[in-house]
A and B are shown apart, each in its own frame.
Chain A
Amino acid sequence: MSSDASEPADAAAAEAAAAEETSPEPAEEEAAADEGPAVPEPQQRRLAEKRARSGADAVLDDAERAAPAVEDDQTVHLRVYRYDPEVEDKQEPRYDDFHVPAKDGLSVLDALIWARDHYDSTLTFRHSCRQAVCGSDAFFINGRQRLGCQTQVGDLEEPIRIEPLPHSSVEKDLVVDMEHFYDQMDAVEPYFQSSEDPPGELEERKQSPENREKVKLSTRCIWCSACMSSCNIAAGDNQYLGPAAINMAYRFAMDERESDDATEHRFTTIEQEHGVWRCQTQFSCTEVCPKDIPLTEHIQELKREAVKKNLKFW
């Protein structure tokens, strides 16, 4: 720094240097996040297992992924399920092949949108936010329920087979009927209920941080229906509430601000024959959940609670 620099300039430079010191490189940030105590241990274990599993079935290893440099003329091969009961040629389901230009960061949803916009405007699928929040674009991609927007094309083996969610009736192409799923969600009354007035003069109902932590993961549900589609029991027993609905019941049943009679009312629904007891702990819902909700654990906890509530020793 030159000696004739004015004092304010010096101060500004010092500030800038300080700012540089306090804002670490992205790599350091990641390392700090890994060490941080914010993520509870079981969840980290589950995420690590999930990564290992997905590595085993359809994800290419790092070397394979890095090898083909992305060039302008490179394409990805999609094989998409097509069906339309209103068009004579599409009444018999078939697969159409699309070759979409590859680029870094291309998601399955991006590829589908490109194929629709450039090849076939009748290619039909649901999508909205494109950032794994709306839950509209759950598809059966390479034999597994995934969100189109959350799944990177580069992580999949080609041809990428995209089908509508299994165990639901297909309306057209990749669009399935969600009515039954929504009915099951409504059956558990997925909203806060309490017969008691809020404590104090204000309208607010405060929740303890511990209780918030308990229900936190269950609140992540985006109603995408991937879990319901993956569930063997829901496929056979059409009355089974399903993982998403039971998780929603868990979210409110475990909320300490709900009054006791409201919780009791919830349990009359979830402990029906087609409620929690149908879960056979296959964990398929937990594996496919795009928001990493420990669905099976929540269902098991409700089973234990239901038994405890009903046990009488006299």
Chain B
Amino acid sequence: MAERYSSFAPGGTSWLLQRVTAAFLIVVLAFHFFLLHFVNHAADITFAGSAARMAEWGYYATMILFLVTATFHGVNGVYNALINQGLDGTTKTVVKWGLIVAGLLLIAQGIRLANVLAGGA
């Protein structure tokens, strides 16, 4: 008893981050849908328009944050749903690292694309 346990126990951190990202995603998703589906119809979205938006620092930062939080929320959600189904042992480790790698690849590709749109690289 009374031993010092580490701050940020793994289960608790991911649960908290899942909730925080969920709250953030509600706001950013609403922004996304209003701007790119309701105010401007999807048919009217052009590459030049996207490039112009991405060139703005604030929009670029929001989209990168959107990408990172959505990836974490999705990957962590799938992983926890599988744990709920009784995922255990070696399969669990393989699935966990598979999802992490897939998530990192998605983020890398997303940032690469954002940079292209913003006019860099």
Contact = CB atoms under 8 A, between A and B. Distances in A.
Interface stretch (B3-11, B28-36, B47-55): B3-11
Contacts of A311: 7-8
Interface in B1-54: 1-2, 5, 7-16
Contacts of B1: 195, 261-262, 264-265
Nearest to B14: A277
A306 B84 contact: no
The DSSP consensus for interface residues of chain A is helix
Chain B interface size, under 10 / 10 to 19 / 20 to 34 / 35 or more = 10 to 19
Interface in A229-251: 232-233, 236-239
B7 A310 contact: yes
A273 interface: yes
A279 to B, nearest CB: 10
Given A237-B86, A280-B84, A307-B15, A265 B2 contact: yes
A99 interface: no
A237 B83 contact: yes
Nearest to A260: B2
A278 interface: yes
Contacts of A275: 11
Contacts of A122: none
Given A306-B12, A312-B7, A273 B2 contact: no
Contact of B9 (A232, A262, A280, A310): A310
Nearest to A237: B86
B90 interface: no
Contact of A236 (B9, B11, B84): B84
B93 to A, nearest CB: 13
A235 B1 CA distance: 31
A264 B83 contact: no
Contacts of A310: 7-9, 12-13
A237 B13 CA distance: 20
A303 interface: yes
B8 A277 contact: no
Given A261-B2, A306-B12, A278 B7 contact: no
Contact of A268 (B5, B10, B80, B83): B5
Interface residues of A, number: 25
B65 to A, nearest CB: 21
Contacts of B14: 277
Interface of A: 195, 232-233, 236-239, 261-262, 264-265, 268, 271-273, 275, 277-278, 280, 303, 306-307, 310-312
Contacts of B9: 271, 306, 310
B15 A303 contact: yes
Contacts of A273: 10-11, 83
Given A238-B86, A307-B16, A277 B11 contact: yes
A237 B85 contact: yes
Nearest to A265: B1
A303 B83 CA distance: 18
B83 A278 contact: yes
A306 to B, nearest CB: 5
Nearest to B5: A268
Interface string B76-110: 00001001111010000000000000000000000
Nearest to B4: A264
A235 to B, nearest CB: 9
A125 to B, nearest CB: 29
A271 B15 CA distance: 11
A185 B80 CA distance: 23
A231 to B, nearest CB: 10
B84 to A, nearest CB: 5
